[in-house]
């Protein structure tokens, strides 16, 4: 890492640029020549004291506006002169309390400690979560914690909700525009990251929640083949109900009706959607839920869809993720995957608000994938078994916070994580984890019911610095934890193993189907076998009886 901007270092950087067309540095304003034009970034000071280079708001595709709405992104148009890259680009259009963002949002950010093309640093590309409906690559995901370990961090925006995931099963709106945005960003990385000191042959794709769903989709998509080399999936994957679109056309028609267009003609509907402002095409998930969907699963519904094949249009994915994985039709790369011990804490209040419906019909606990496979009688039996397993011979109450935490952890994140790990381990090495650090960095947990465990999203504050936790990080004990956690992630990105040596004092065993080894990311980092075994085996038996792929013995 470059520790300062002393004149000697400046001279060296300029000399390197002359010799090998690297970035330049003028008055703390580094410049890099990409395939589309020259970018001027900034030199920043990390909280740890080192300097690094920041390039923000880089267009990786043309703005998906006008006739490009709902379509796959096009390569960016070159620009003349030098483009300012010191500020984040606009977030993609979304509803977050109010409408925010823009359709002109396909930007990425690059953070690096070297601008020497010979540095060959491993690259980590992060896909943010947010139910495929909200979120952005912005100041919430600052790079210092990760890039201290000599990796490059890339963060990116992608189209969201209706604008990103409308699927009408016609060539003009086949679906998965948001996923195709991510592919375009990965292609940009392949073409340009060397100029930022990165190694295009060592790209780790990682994401959290729906971002984890996204990165595991890339493992199955022929469109993404060769664009990345390792994957980290935090609290999610593409096999879960909330990551797979159900009745895409019906949902779009309901959205049209809400907005004032009552039609069953998808072409008419598309014309109507094309005529609306972007702000109208947000915040449409909950108002398009069916009665069943109000209870079954979490409200993430404009999500990746299984596409039909149309002439001249490259699909992102054309078969169910479970089928693709079980048949071995995958981009076989090393995988690190896991979940947080108290994921479901974030869903306790949501669950309690719907308790009457769950107690009246416990089969709402059963995932849609199973519902589609079994009879109504079997579905009712499964629901009754879930009720009995978690609360016994009574109804659940608002006082059952810990039980709701475990139930929601299992059905929304944990079981599917185990299942994905088990299936993928047949083809490639897998490292499984359960995250359970609880410190002042758990800022999401601090706003929720007082229950044990790290909740959904808590691990992000151990991976990314931001304005919320800057003071908390000054605690020496917190710094040690953050350093170890980020070192595990960076080690995996560098060599495909989170603990390739004994320098961390941690030994993370490789996952096997027989023992189901995992690392408990908590005090002392103990390893174990088969996290939450009793609960996972309960769900595994249900999947077996439903005749679905499950956790292998």
For residue 467, give its domain range.
7-343+410-545
pTM listed for this prediction: 0.94
pLDDT, one tens digit per residue, over 320-358 is: 999 999 999 999 999 999 999 999 999 999 999 999 999
pLDDT, one tens digit per residue, over 413-468 is: 999 999 999 999 999 999 999 999 999 999 999 999 999 999 999 999 999 999 99
Q: Is residue 25 pLDDT above 80, yes or no?
A: no
Q: Is residue 353 part of a domain?
A: no
C-beta of residue 156 within 8 angstroms of C-beta of residue 60? yes
Label residue 553 by pLDDT band (50, 70, 90): confident
Q: Is residue 361 part of a domain?
A: no
Please pick, among 167, 202, 209, 248, the residue that the annotation labels catalytic.
209
Torsions phi, psi for 535 (to 5 deg): -70, -40
Q: Is residue 107 part of a domain?
A: yes
Q: Is residue 231 part of a domain?
A: yes
How many structural domains comprise the chain?
1
In angstroms, the CA 428 to CA 431 distance is 10
Looking up residue 335, the CATH number of its domain turns out to be 3.40.50.1820
Which are the contacts of 476, defined by CB distance < 8 A and separation ≥ 6? none
Q: Could you give the percent of the chain with pLDDT greater than 90? A: 93
pLDDT, one tens digit per residue, over 467-487 is: 999 999 999 999 999 999 999
Q: Is residue 394 part of a domain?
A: no
Task: Please state at what angle helix 266-275 crosses helix 248-259, rounded to 10 degrees.
Answer: 50
In angstroms, the CA 14 to CA 225 distance is 36
User: What pLDDT is stored for residue 24 in this prediction?
Assistant: 54
Altogether, the residues listed in the chain come to a count of 553
Q: Is residue 358 part of a domain?
A: no
Whether 507 is catalytic: no
* 3-state percent breakdown (helix, strand, coil) of the chain, nearest 5: 35, 15, 45
pLDDT, one tens digit per residue, over 245-297 is: 999 999 999 999 999 999 999 999 999 999 999 999 999 999 999 999 999 99
Q: Is residue 309 part of a domain?
A: yes
Q: Is residue 112 part of a domain?
A: yes
In angstroms, the CA 32 to CA 294 distance is 49
């Amino acid at each position: 890492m470059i520790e300062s901007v002393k004149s000697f270092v400046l001279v060296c950087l300029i000399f390197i640029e002359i010799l090998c067309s690297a970035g330049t540095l003028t008055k703390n304003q580094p410049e890099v020549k990409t395939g589309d034009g020259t970018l001027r970034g900034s030199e920043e000071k990390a909280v740890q004291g080192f300097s690094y280079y920041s390039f923000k708001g880089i267009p990786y595709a043309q703005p998906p506006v006008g006739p490009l709405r709902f379509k796959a992104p096009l390569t960016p148009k070159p620009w003349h002169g030098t483009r300012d890259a010191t500020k984040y680009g606009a977030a993609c259009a979304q509803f977050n309390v109010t409408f925010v963002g823009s359709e002109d949002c396909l930007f990425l950010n690059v953070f690096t400690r070297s601008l020497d093309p010979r540095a060959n640093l491993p690259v980590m590309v992060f896909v943010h979560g947010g139910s495929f409906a909200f979120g952005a690559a912005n100041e919430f995901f600052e790079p210092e914690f990760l890039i201290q370990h000599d990796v490059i961090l890339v963060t990116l925006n992608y189209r969201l909700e209706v604008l990103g995931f409308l699927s009408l099963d016609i060539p003009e709106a086949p679906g998965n525009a948001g996923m195709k945005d991510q592919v375009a960003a990965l292609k940009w990385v392949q073409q340009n990251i060397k100029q930022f000191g990165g190694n295009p042959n060592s790209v780790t794709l990682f994401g959290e929640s729906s971002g984890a769903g996204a990165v595991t989709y890339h493992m199955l998509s022929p469109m993404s083949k060769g664009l990345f080399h390792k994957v980290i999936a935090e609290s999610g994957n593409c096999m879960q109900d909330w990551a797979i679109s159900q009745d895409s056309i019906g949902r779009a028609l309901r959205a049209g009706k809400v907005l004032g267009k009552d039609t069953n003609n998808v072409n008419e509907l598309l014309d109507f959607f094309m005529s609306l402002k972007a702000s109208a095409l947000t915040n449409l998930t909950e108002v398009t839920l069916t009665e069943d969907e109000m209870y079954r699963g979490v409200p993430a519904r404009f999500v990746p869809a299984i596409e039909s094949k149309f002439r001249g249009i490259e699909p992102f994915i054309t078969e169910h993720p479970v089928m693709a994985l079980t048949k071995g039709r995958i981009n076989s790369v090393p995988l690190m995957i896991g979940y947080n011990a108290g994921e479901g804490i974030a869903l306790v209040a949501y669950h309690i608000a719907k308790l009457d419906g769950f107690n009246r019909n416990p089969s709402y606990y059963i995932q849609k994938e199973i519902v589609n496979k079994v009879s109504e009688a079997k579905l009712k039996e499964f629901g009754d078994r879930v009720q009995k397993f978690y609360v016994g011979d009574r109804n659940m109450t608002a006082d059952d916070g810990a039980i709701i935490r475990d139930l929601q952890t299992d059905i929304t994140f944990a079981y599917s994580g185990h299942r994905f790990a088990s299936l993928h381990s047949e083809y490639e090495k897998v490292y499984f984890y359960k995250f359970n650090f609880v410190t002042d960095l758990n800022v999401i947990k601090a706003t929720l019911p007082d229950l044990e465990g790290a909740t959904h999203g808590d691990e992000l504050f151990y991976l990314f610095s931001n304005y919320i936790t800057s003071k908390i990080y000054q605690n020496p004990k917190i710094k040690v934890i953050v350093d170890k956690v980020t070192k595990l992630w960076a080690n995996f990105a560098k060599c495909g193993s989170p603990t390739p040596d004994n320098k961390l004092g941690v030994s993370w065993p490789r996952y096997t189907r027989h023992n189901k080894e995992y690392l408990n990311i908590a005090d002392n980092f103990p390893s174990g076998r088969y996290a939450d075994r009793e609960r996972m085996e309960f769900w595994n038996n249900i999947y077996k009886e439903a005749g679905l792929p499950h956790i292998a013995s």
